[in-house]
Structure 1
Amino acid sequence: MENLSVIIGKNLYDIRKKKNLSLDKVSELTGVSKPMLGQIERGLSNPSVAILWKIASGLNVSFSYFIEANDDEIRYIPFKEVHPLYEYKNKMAAYPLFPYDDKRRFEIFTIYLQPGCDHISTPHNDGVEEYIIITEGEMELVIAETVYKLAKGDALAFAANKAHTYRNTSEKPVCFNDIIYYFN
């Protein structure tokens, strides 16, 4: 697999040109500085999950738009070849398994949270739903101000246009699958 920073940079450049936007305008739309956007486009910076979400929201595209999709009818993804995106001082690792494509309108991640990780996710656009399935460990998911305690095998679906926080308050790592569906 090609270097993830290079893929993200190419895709950012492509969407910016497709929408006929300058770096200044993308910076205005996303709240990400022009120098940072330039570094990302050139593949010189590996953006955090938070920065990538800001860019995706500002440009009104899915988070995984920036990750090259495989168009084969059968898609086998060896986990060892998936490059994670790190956040929260490397206590959160998000593995993009199936990036978004326009035909399917969803993306799937496997996410690991180390003990003490408290990842705040900014609200997504209207028309986005998340489906969380816990595969290992226990965690809290805070949506708006409601706390849901989830353990292995539990699942939760919610409209993702509200503030939500993934929190590992246990002493062990937690792993979950996150399916993000874009119905608008």
Structure 2
Amino acid sequence: MPDPGSQPQPGVILRQIRTERNLSLEQVAVMTGVSRPMLSQIERGSSTPTVTTLWKLASGLKVPLSRLTRPASVTLLRSLQQDPIEEEDGKMKAWLLFPFDPDNGTEIWRVTLDAGCVHSSQAHAPGTREYILMESGDLTMTVGSCREQLTSRQALQFGADTAHQYATADGCSFYNVITYQ
């Protein structure tokens, strides 16, 4: 297994995808809603994209989120050997456990939210589904106009092609399984 520290960064992978598809930075900016200067900074490695930016890139380019964080050939990652992706001023941390598997269209993440964290996510590509498997704590999931309260050892599935929000009062950890059409 390759050393996780030697894996390409999102900017390197973004440039590979752009080159494979013969896309300019301007074309990618239009497709993803991420500005051309930000795309350039990400590709140069002078800016680290947030989870929200990575989702915009993944949705616009129609690739799984994990494609931008780890190469598809990796089959196993140990969360203790990688730095998490952080969002919401570090109150949200996400570790990619299993990258996108083209055979079943799935990727698996472990996520922790600190007390008071609220993270809003834009709608993902049509047909995308998420499965939340609570490990500990409390989580309020809002999907469109539906709101569900989750606690440890509960699970929820939903169509992630609708805007959704993760919120916690006291903090929580959960696994997030994402499937793509």
Common topology (TM > 0.5)? yes
1:156 Cα shift? Answer: 0.5
1:104 Cα shift? Answer: 3.0
Which of 26, 29, 32 is matched with 2:28 structurally?
Answer: 26
Q: Does 1:162 align with 2:165?
A: no
Aligned pairs for 1:85-164 (under 5 A) are 85-164=85-164
Corresponding position of 2:79? 79
For residues 3 and 49 of structure 1, do their structure 2 counterparts lie closer, same or farther at Cα, with a shift above 3 Å needed? farther
Cα deviations across residues 40-87 of structure 1 (Å, max 9, x unaligned)? 112221100001111111111111111224647xx5533211221111
For residues 70 and 11 of structure 1, do their structure 2 counterparts lie closer, same or farther at Cα, with a shift above 3 Å needed? closer
Q: What is the distance in 2 between the residues matched to 1:71 and 1:34?
A: 28
Moved over 4 A (4+): none
1:9 Cα shift? Answer: 1.1
For residues 51 and 119 of structure 1, do their structure 2 counterparts lie closer, same or farther at Cα, with a shift above 3 Å needed? same
Give unpaired runs (5+ residues) of structure 1.
Answer: none
Identity percentage of aligned residues: 37
Which amino acid is the alignment partner of residue 96 of structure 2? Answer: P
Which amino acid is the alignment partner of residue 144 of structure 1? Answer: G
Q: What is the distance in 2 between the residues matched to 1:2 and 1:86?
A: 17
Corresponding position of 1:61? 63
Q: What is the distance in 1 between the residues matched to 2:126 and 2:43?
A: 27
1:7 Cα shift? Answer: 1.8
- Count residues with an aligned counterpart: 178
TM-score w.r.t. the length of structure 1 is 0.91
Cα deviations across residues 94-129 of structure 1 (Å, max 9, x unaligned)? 111111132231111100001111100111111111
For residues 82 and 157 of structure 1, do their structure 2 counterparts lie closer, same or farther at Cα, with a shift above 3 Å needed? same
Q: What is the distance in 2 between the residues matched to 1:135 and 1:18?
A: 39
Deviates more, 1:38-47 or 1:149-158: 38-47
Give unpaired runs (5+ residues) of structure 2.
Answer: none
SS at match of 1:2: helix
Q: What is the distance in 1 between the residues matched to 2:173 and 2:87?
A: 15
